[in-house]
Amino acid sequence: MYNKLTLAGGLRARVRPMNLNVEPHNLPDQTGAGRLTVLRQLVTGLFRYERLEMNESKAFEMQGYAELLLQEAMRYGPKHKPTMELMDFWMLEKDLIHRVFKVYVPRFARFEAPYTKLWYVPSRPEGRQSYMSHKRILMELKGNPYPPVEPRHLDNKSSLANILLAEAKRDYVRQKIRAQAEVHQGTSVSDEEPTSTGI
């Protein structure tokens, strides 16, 4: 089902072979170019807000373009003409081109690709009675400064079962040490009696 897109850039993100259920958004000239406009808007929004919510099919289609842009930027830098043309096409707001090279390229130097992360968010938003037919996805850039959506580590150290288990483990270790000490004592009873009292 999944297919790794083999491009010159060697894209290191899973890309679906076909687009799914994205409406064509036809422009008046009936070229279907409106779809590309939607994708450009999404990529621009992602690079500005670093966190964007959309439906599943758009997210899967858009992720590849965002990844490719970042990888090209990291590989060739701002003085490479084809890369800059690509940036100029995809960034509808031109101040973000500076952002890509001055913020994202240094940041992602310490990350491994893919640089985007997808989270499924509830398909029943607040204040909505029924579930939506499309699954919703939150796409974010890695290393962003916002509060993490990832479920934080559950601190269950003080739950009753864990307290009992920890105590049982400690008991087991104590018994083992005592048994070892007794064996040690049995071999050399006459010599070192006082040492076993410390345990």
Partner 1 sequence: MFSLRITNAVRRVQELVDIFLIGGRYPGFPQLVVADTGYHPSASSPATQATTEPEQSFLESLKDGLLWAVPKKRSSVERRLKKQFGSSYMDPYKLRTDLIVCLHCGHYHEAHSLCGHCYQKVKAETKLIHDTMDITARDAELQSQEVVVVYEGENPDPVTTHGKRIVEVPKKRPLWFNSVLLTKVLPKGGAANDQS
Q: Give the binding range for partner 1 (CB under 8 A) out of 6-14, 57-65, 93-101, 169-177.
A: 93-101
Q: Which residues from 128-157 bind partner 1, rule CB under 8 A?
A: 129-131, 135-136, 138, 145-149, 151-152, 154
Spell out where the chain has E strands.
Answer: 51-55, 116-121, 136-141
For the CB of residue 118, give the shortest distance to partner 1 in the complex, in Å.
11
Evaluate whether 16 touches 4 at the Cβ level (below 8 Å). Answer: no
For the CB of residue 129, give the shortest distance to partner 1 in the complex, in Å.
6
Contacts of 127 (CB under 8 A, 6+ apart): none
Q: Which residues from 47-86 bind partner 1, rule CB under 8 A?
A: 48-49, 51
Which listed residue (4, 98, 170, 178) binds partner 1 by CB under 8 A?
98
Contacts of 21 (CB under 8 A, 6+ apart): 57, 134
DSSP 52-86: EEEEHHHHHHHHHHHHHHHHHHHHH-TT-HHHHHH
For the CB of residue 90, give the shortest distance to partner 1 in the complex, in Å.
16
* Buried b / exposed e along 105-129 (16+ C-beta atoms within 10 A): beebeeeeebbbbbeeeebeeeeee
Single out the residue of 72, 140, 143, 78 nearest to residue 107, CA to CA.
143
Which listed residue (6, 126, 183, 187) binds partner 1 by CB under 8 A?
126
For the CB of residue 195, give the shortest distance to partner 1 in the complex, in Å.
31
Q: Which is nearer to partner 1, 128 or 169 (CB)?
A: 128
For the CB of residue 159, give the shortest distance to partner 1 in the complex, in Å.
11
* DSSP one-letter code for 147: P
How many chain residues interact with partner 1 (CB under 8 A)?
Answer: 36
Residues forming the site for partner 1 (CB under 8 A): 48-49, 51, 93-96, 98-99, 101-103, 106-107, 119-126, 129-131, 135-136, 138, 145-149, 151-152, 154
